[in-house]
C-alpha cells in the first residue's frame, strides 16, 4: 500500500448471500488526517462497509488495503491484530460498563494490547495506562469526571467517554458508526465537534457514518455517498449541494 493511504479498496464487493451483492465496484481511498462522512439510505451497506474495511467481515471480491495490510476476503489473524492495534471504534450506543468509574471504562480501551487483562481491573492497570486514560479524558474535556460512575454522566458525556476509550489506543484511524444518533441535537454537535478537533489536533483519520446531513457536511472534509451498494458520489463536503444530498435518499 502506498504510504499516503490509510484505506484503499479496489473493485471491492460484498454479498451476504451468493449472487446478492450488498456492495459492489467500490474504489475508495482515504488519506491520513482526512475526515470522511459515509452517508446513504437505511440498509445501503454503510455498516457493512465499515466492518469490511477493517477486516471484521470478509469481502466477496476485490481487495482492501487498511493501515498497511492488504487482503482479499479476510485478513490473516496477524493482519487483523495489526489493524486492530491502530483503530479506535465508537458506536451509536457507547457500551460503557455503567457501574464502573469513567477512568476504568477508558482504561478498558487498552484491552487487546499485550498484558491487557490488567485493564479489566483498574487497580492493576499499569500507571502508564492510567496516565494515558487521563490524557484521553482531557482531550474530550472530561478529566474532572474521571472518578465518577459512568452512569452518573449525561448521554453526551458518556459518548465522549466512549471516544476517550477509543483514544487511549492512540489510533491512526477512528471509526464511528452513527456516533451522535442517540443524542439530543446539542450533545450530538458536541460529540461531533470533539471528533473533528481530534482529527485536526492529533492527526487522527476519521471515518464516520451519519443520517444527519448537517453532521455529514459540517464535520467532514469529504463525503462518500452510497446508493444501491455503489459510490453515488465522493467529493469535498464544501462542494456538496442540498439537491445532491436529497438524491442519495430518493428511491
Ligand X SMILES: Nc1ncnc2c1ncn2[C@@H]1O[C@H](COP(=O)(O)OP(=O)(O)OP(=O)(O)O)[C@@H](O)[C@H]1O
Q: How far is the CB of 129 from ligand X (least distance, A)?
A: 33
3-state secondary structure of 174: strand
Q: How far is the CB of 92 from ligand X (least distance, A)?
A: 9
Q: How far is the CB of 131 from ligand X (least distance, A)?
A: 36
Q: How far is the CB of 125 from ligand X (least distance, A)?
A: 34
Q: How far is the CB of 228 from ligand X (least distance, A)?
A: 11
Hey, which residues does 136 pair with through a beta bridge? none
**Among residues 16 and 117, whose Cβ is nearest to ligand X?**
16
| Set of cell numbers at residue 136 | 484521553
Distance of CA 251 to the CA centre of its chain: 27
| Set of cell numbers at residue 202 | 492529533
CB atoms within 10 A of CB 51: 15
Q: Is 207 left (phi over 0), alpha (psi -120 to 50) or beta?
A: beta
Positions touching ligand X (CB under 6 A) are 16, 22, 40, 42-48
**Among residues 129 and 219, whose Cβ is nearest to ligand X?**
219
**Among residues 57 and 85, whose Cβ is nearest to ligand X?**
57
**Among residues 56 and 85, whose Cβ is nearest to ligand X?**
56
Pairwise CA distance, residues 204 & 131, whole Å? 20
Q: How far is the CB of 42 from ligand X (least distance, A)?
A: 4
Q: How far is the CB of 139 from ligand X (least distance, A)?
A: 28
**Among residues 44 and 60, whose Cβ is nearest to ligand X?**
44
Pairwise CA distance, residues 107 & 100, whole Å? 11
**Among residues 15 and 141, whose Cβ is nearest to ligand X?**
15
**Among residues 24 and 46, whose Cβ is nearest to ligand X?**
46
Q: Which residues make Cβ contacts (< 8 Å) with residue 140, sequence separation at least 6?
A: 160, 161, 163, 164, 167, 194
Amino acid at each position: 500500500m502506498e504510504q499516503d493511504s490509510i484505506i484503499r479498496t479496489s473493485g471491492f464487493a460484498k454479498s451476504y448471500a451468493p449472487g446478492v451483492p450488498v456492495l459492489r465496484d467500490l474504489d475508495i481511498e482515504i488519506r491520513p488526517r482526512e475526515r470522511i462522512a459515509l452517508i446513504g439510505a437505511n440498509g445501503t451497506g454503510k455498516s457493512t462497509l465499515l466492518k469490511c474495511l477493517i477486516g471484521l467481515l470478509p469481502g466477496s471480491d476485490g481487495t482492501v488495503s487498511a493501515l498497511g495490510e492488504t487482503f482479499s476476503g479476510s485478513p490473516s489473524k496477524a493482519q487483523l491484530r495489526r489493524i486492530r492495534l491502530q483503530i479506535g471504534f465508537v458506536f451509536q450506543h457507547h457500551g460503557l460498563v455503567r457501574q464502573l468509574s469513567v477512568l476504568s471504562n477508558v482504561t478498558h480501551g487498552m484491552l487487546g494490547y499485550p498484558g491487557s487483562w490488567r485493564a479489566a481491573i483498574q487497580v492493576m492497570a499499569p500507571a502508564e495506562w492510567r496516565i494515558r486514560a487521563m490524557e484521553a479524558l482531557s482531550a474530550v474535556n472530561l478529566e474532572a469526571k474521571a472518578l465518577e460512575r459512568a452512569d452518573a454522566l449525561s448521554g453526551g458525556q458518556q459518548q465522549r467517554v466512549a471516544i476517550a476509550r477509543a483514544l487511549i489506543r492512540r489510533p491512526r484511524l477512528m471509526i464511528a458508526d452513527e456516533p451522535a444518533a442517540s443524542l439530543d441535537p446539542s450533545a450530538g454537535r458536541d460529540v461531533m465537534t470533539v471528533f473533528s478537533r481530534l482529527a485536526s489536533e492529533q492527526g487522527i483519520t476519521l471515518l464516520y457514518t451519519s443520517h444527519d446531513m448537517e453532521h455529514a457536511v459540517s464535520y467532514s472534509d469529504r463525503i462518500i455517498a452510497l446508493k444501491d451498494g455503489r459510490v453515488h458520489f465522493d467529493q469535498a463536503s464544501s462542494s456538496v449541494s442540498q439537491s445532491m444530498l436529497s438524491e442519495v435518499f430518493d428511491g
